[in-house]
Structure formats: C-alpha cells, structure tokens
Amino acid sequence: MRPRVLAFVVAVASLHSVGCSGCRKGESVSGQPSPASASAVPTLGPVPVAAQEPAEDALHGLWSQRPFLARSALISLHPHWLTVTLLDREARCDSARLVESDLGIQMTIPSGPRNDFFAGQDIPLEVRLHGAGGVSRIPPGHVTVRIEPFRPEHDDTVRGFLSFRFRTATDPDAPSYASEGVFTARVCNNRATVPSVRALPMGESPVSGTVAGRAVRLTSMLAYVRDDGYGSPIVMLKGFEGDVVCHTTRSATPYLFGAEVGAGRAGKYFQGAALPAEWQMQMRMFQFSERSVQAAHGAGWVQIDSIDLQEGGVVRGRLGADNPNDDAEWRFTLSGQFEAKMCGVERRAW
C-alpha cells in the first residue's frame, strides 16, 4: 500500500466526487471511531429558488481578471468527509458534472475527531479550482472556510462561508485569484458519518507515538513562516526526533511536517480550536532511502493555543496524526502538546 494523490474530479451528480488527497488503496480513515457529538443543531432553511438572483454577499471573486459568481452549491456526503462543489451556473444534484466552460470550486472537509466537520468555526482548508486558467489548487494557508452546524442524516441544506486570496508570485502584477462570500449548499445524499480520526491520547506530554513500529518522541518542534503574497505570514510547523536547529542542513529523519495556517478573518490564526491538518511523516526506509508518507485524508489535526511571530518566539498548541490502517512500514500515530520555536522565514523545503 503506497500513498497516492487523486486528481481533482467533480462528479457530484453520480455521488462519486471524493477530492481526497493522500488516501491509500483500500483504506478506512478512522480506526475505532469516537462517539459523535450529541448536541442539538438547528434545522436549516430551504434552498433558494433556482431562478432567484444570488444575494449581494453571495460567494464571488476575480480569478486572474475573470469574474466568478457562485450560482449553485452542492454537497456530497461520505463516511469520513463531505465535498462541497460551487459552480458559476445553476445546477442540481443530477446536473452538476463539470464541463469545459464551467468555473468551479471544490473543497473537501473531513468529519474530524468529533464527527462534526469542524462546523461553527473558521478553518484553513485547501480548495481546488476548475477553469481558473492554470491554477488548480489554493493551499490551506490562503483559505478560510466555515460551515454551520447541520445533521448529515436529515438536513437538506448547509450554509457556509468561503474566502481565499492567492497570488502566483510576489510581483504585485502577478496573476491573482480571490473569492469571498456565503453560500447555501444542497445536500445530495443524506447519510450517517463517523469520525475521520480516532480519539488520541493527549495529556500534558510532548508529541510522541510510533513511527513504523518504533517509539518516537518529537523533542524539537519548530515553526516557520512564508508570505501569503499580501504581506501576511503563513505559519508552518515541523517536528523532529532529537535536537534540531532552525535551518539545519543535516539529515533529521524522521520528522513531521505539512500543516500550514494563515491568519484567518480575525487575524488570530484560528487560535483555540482544532483545525484539519494534512500531516506528512518523512521516514527512513531501509538504510539510505527516505520517503514522505501522508496521513490519510482527515486523519490529522492541529490546534494553536498561542502564537508569537517574532523570531525566537513560541507557538504553543497540540496536534494529532494517525494512520492506524496503513501497512506497518508506513504507519505512524503521534499526538501531544508542543512548544514550537519560531524560526522565521523557511530557507529550505525539507
């Protein structure tokens, strides 16, 4: 079993749209799922009539000088995630397959450790674009998503908000892609869901667990930043076994990386709440070979409790990454609290 990346395919009409990056053949993302939240959630309102003009705050934007306006939104539910598809034309569940002339957005939200799809809070999340003229992916550090609480087995619609801005280069005249606004998505297939990640031990201990069957403790947690193209830093986290300096040039396998968090709407880096994170583990295979193994979609999260962006400052929080159903040589499970030293701008991409 080896990691693979699925292409951006939108097929809500046949309920085959998955948008799951980093999944593996035959995997089940959750192990023994923790109980779903039993809190009550309100029934959401009806879908607007198809012929009705979008509201003034409806999701809209400009993609490299090409205007985008979301005129329809559809949701496909899967056991461990949901996929939202937004189109620039009217569409129903049976007529949403993308054609060449469509402008479209797709985002996949994992059910998370509480089986609530991180509802009711802003989260960073990758989005994929169709028809954007060369840009097909907006990384999580450039994106803010929010969906309101809903009942997957019963509710017909889900209300949400999306905002992203992305510039292809630091040049102010470089092609840019931005959208912001609200949407009301039709649920195409009500069904029960389960948590996408197991309840992991947390406590007060540093991040630790097992990597390829070996006990590992990440004693060096480091934080780096890069500019989002508009002057706001994106924070990236990395964890290492052993003592590692900020910009080491030596081999430091195994190490955990992949989470990135932008400032968000409030400028506070989504502090105080669990966020979906696409963790990857760099592993040593045999004696000299190294490989990156990505956690199954939805099988990772991070929470930032406090953040100091000054060089030498500290980012405090907790994280979980779990691949319980992978082959033994690829499997990793890590969780715990961390204090990551702020190292400034990343100088090399490990």
12 Cα distance to chain centroid: 20
Q: What is the pTM of this model?
A: 0.81
Residue by residue, DSSP assigns 178-221 as EEEEEEEEEESS------SS-----TTSBSEEEETTEEEE--EE
Per-residue model confidence as pLDDT tens digits over 103-147: 999 999 999 999 999 999 999 999 999 998 878 999 999 999 999
Q: Which is more confidently placed, 206 or 96?
A: 206
| 96 and 12 Cβ atoms separated by less than 8 Å | yes
Whether residue 24 is predicted with pLDDT greater than 90 in this model: the reply is no
Res. 38 pLDDT band, cuts 50 70 90? very low
- Averaged pLDDT score across all residues of the chain: 82
| 128 and 106 Cβ atoms separated by less than 8 Å | yes
Res. 289 pLDDT band, cuts 50 70 90? low
Res. 248 pLDDT band, cuts 50 70 90? confident
Q: What CA–CA distances, in Å, run from 288 to 126, 235, 253, 283, 326?
A: 33, 31, 11, 10, 22
Q: Would you list the domain boundaries of the chain? A: 12-28+57-187, 208-345
* pLDDT computed for residue 13 by the predictor: 37
Percent of the chain with pLDDT over 90: 60
The Cα 33–Cα 26 span in angstroms is 18
The Cα 327–Cα 119 span in angstroms is 32
Q: What is the pLDDT averaged over residues 44-53?
A: 39
* pLDDT computed for residue 294 by the predictor: 77
Whether residue 18 is predicted with pLDDT greater than 60 in this model: the reply is no
Per-residue model confidence as pLDDT tens digits over 294-347: 777 788 999 999 999 998 899 999 999 998 888 888 889 999 999 999 999 987
The Cα 301–Cα 261 span in angstroms is 11
Whether residue 10 is predicted with pLDDT greater than 90 in this model: the reply is no
Calculate ∠ Cα 327-328-332, nearest 5°: 100
Per-residue model confidence as pLDDT tens digits over 144-162: 999 999 999 999 999 999 9
Percent of the chain with pLDDT over 70: 81
Q: What CA–CA distances, in Å, run from 146 to 63, 107, 259, 261?
A: 21, 11, 18, 15
Secondary structure letter of residue 78 according to DSSP: -
Res. 50 pLDDT band, cuts 50 70 90? very low
Whether residue 25 is predicted with pLDDT greater than 50 in this model: the reply is no
